């Protein structure tokens, strides 16, 4: 069994940038991606801000080489996965056992919505069947894997907001057990009318840019995008032309089974995920230098996660923040995007700000960071991704 799994490449697209360089610049300049809805024909267009990727499908198609007729989720996935694959520099090596483990929650729902509206107007001839061919989540993964030429193992994870984190540590386990040499892991999701309507029904959307971990937080902003990391074995890492970003040193999944959409009030699932990830690494809580909070900005989620952090880290708290204050909540893509942020934090020694935080939560003894910090010692990063149904996952990234 391989002891270490390394991150050799990273790729990202979100509302704050279409690649790594643009994203880093936005993070450093405190530039969030929330704005008015532009891509969807929805009754919420004038009321609810979202964090949209700034390219339409036609531009994404030209950039990726995929046809514009495929789902937006697939286009976003291709953008980030291609950047990560090229960044890793493993595509010139032959004989590798490769895998693509990708997460999403909406699949091709955006195209299905297009079909359905046309069908309602004309049940006999309305709607294009090509819009429903790639509806299911696995089809998104297969489209991108085919384009990248990955065939040894291709699979899809869909566990709500923990989806990407689960895809990442599944990939790591396959490498550790000598089933694969290299895995592109992460996820993608696009904003759809179904998603906006669903979260609006739950009454957890903020009508202003979200304020995670603020005492007066009112909800989340939906976002879209994709984030992928390229995981490689220790043996392969030594053959690559450049140094790896970091290691994936620990991971864990726990499920408190408390509620379909709400986190447990005592943060049990969050606590178990973080505790068990730390146990796997052999690290102490005091060894963690930064926590990328799940931090959606809802009343329930932030207090639940906060209580779990207090239970595990009290009285010494690492620096922490929610980067969803930049990207919005990208759902199935969030764990992948935030894994990229974790790798960048270690490589560049940086800590991200929790934007728009003005009032400390009275129930918690800690306060997230408010400013972008450089020249920090960042050896170990804990990244949290907690999903519906109590599915909680934590990843720990460490220096290579």
d(CA 180, CA 171): 8
Size of the chain, expressed as the number of residues it contains:
400
Q: Are the CB atoms for 185 and 154 separated by under 8 Å?
A: no
Give the tokens for residue 51: 């964090």
Q: Are the CB atoms for 232 and 88 separated by under 8 Å?
A: yes
Name the nearest CA neighbour of 394 among 154, 165, 134: 165
Is position 258 annotated as part of the catalytic site?
Answer: no
Q: Which of 246, 294, 380, 392 is catalytic?
A: 294
Give the tokens for residue 93: 């090596």
**Which class for 173: exposed (0-12), middle (13-18), buried (19 or more C-beta within 10 A)?**
middle
182-189 and 98-103 beta bridge pairing: parallel
Percentages helix, strand, coil for the chain (3-state, rounded to 5) are 35, 20, 40
Going by the DSSP 8-state scheme, the letter that residue 43 receives in this structure is T
Q: Which of 134, 137, 244, 329 is catalytic?
A: 329
Q: Which of 161, 244, 246, 392 is catalytic?
A: 161
Q: What is the CA radius of gyration of the chain?
A: 20
- Is the previous residue joined to 106 through a cis bond, with omega within 30 degrees of 0? no
Annotated catalytic residues are 161, 294, 329
């Amino acid at each position: 069994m391989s002891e270490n799994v390394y991150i050799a490449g990273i790729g990202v697209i979100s509302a704050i940038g279409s690649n790594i360089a643009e994203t880093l610049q936005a993070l450093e300049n405190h530039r969030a991606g929330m704005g008015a809805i532009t891509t969807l024909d929805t009754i919420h267009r004038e009321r609810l801000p979202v964090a949209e990727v700034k390219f339409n499908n036609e531009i994404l198609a030209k950039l990726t080489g995929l046809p514009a007729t495929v789902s937006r989720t697939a286009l976003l996935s291709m953008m980030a996965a291609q950047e990560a694959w090229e960044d890793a520099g493993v595509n010139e090596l032959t004989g590798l056992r490769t895998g693509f483990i990708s997460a999403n929650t909406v699949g091709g729902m955006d195209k299905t919505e297009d079909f359905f509206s046309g069908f309602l107007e004309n049940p006999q001839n309305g709607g294009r069947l090509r819009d429903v061919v790639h509806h299911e989540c696995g089809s998104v993964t297969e489209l991108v894997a085919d384009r990248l030429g990955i065939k040894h193992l291709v699979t899809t994870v869909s566990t709500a907001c923990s989806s990407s984190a689960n895809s990442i540590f599944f990939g790591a386990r396959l490498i550790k057990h000598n089933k694969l040499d290299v895995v592109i892991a992460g996820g993608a999701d696009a904003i759809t009318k179904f998603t906006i309507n669903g979260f609006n029904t739950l009454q957890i959307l903020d009508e202003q840019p979200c304020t995670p971990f603020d005492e007066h937080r009112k909800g989340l902003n939906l976002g879209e995008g994709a984030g992928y990391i390229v995981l490689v074995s220790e043996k392969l890492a030594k053959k690559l032309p450049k140094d790896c970003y970091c290691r994936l040193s620990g991971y864990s999944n726990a499920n408190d089974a408390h509620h379909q959409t709400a986190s447990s009030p005592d943060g049990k699932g969050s606590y178990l995920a973080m505790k068990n990830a730390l146990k796997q690494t052999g690290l102490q809580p005091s060894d963690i230098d930064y926590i990328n909070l799940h931090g959606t900005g809802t009343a329930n989620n932030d207090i639940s996660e906060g209580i779990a952090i207090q239970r595990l880290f009290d009285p010494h708290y690492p620096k922490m923040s929610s980067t969803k204050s930049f990207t919005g909540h990208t759902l199935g893509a969030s764990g992948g995007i935030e894994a990229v942020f974790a790798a960048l934090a270690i490589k560049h020694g940086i800590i991200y700000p929790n934007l728009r935080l003005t009032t400390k939560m009275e129930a918690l003894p800690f306060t997230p960071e408010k400013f972008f910090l450089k020249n920090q010692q960042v050896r170990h990063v804990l990244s949290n991704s907690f999903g519906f149904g109590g599915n909680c996952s934590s990843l720990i990234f460490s220096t290579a």
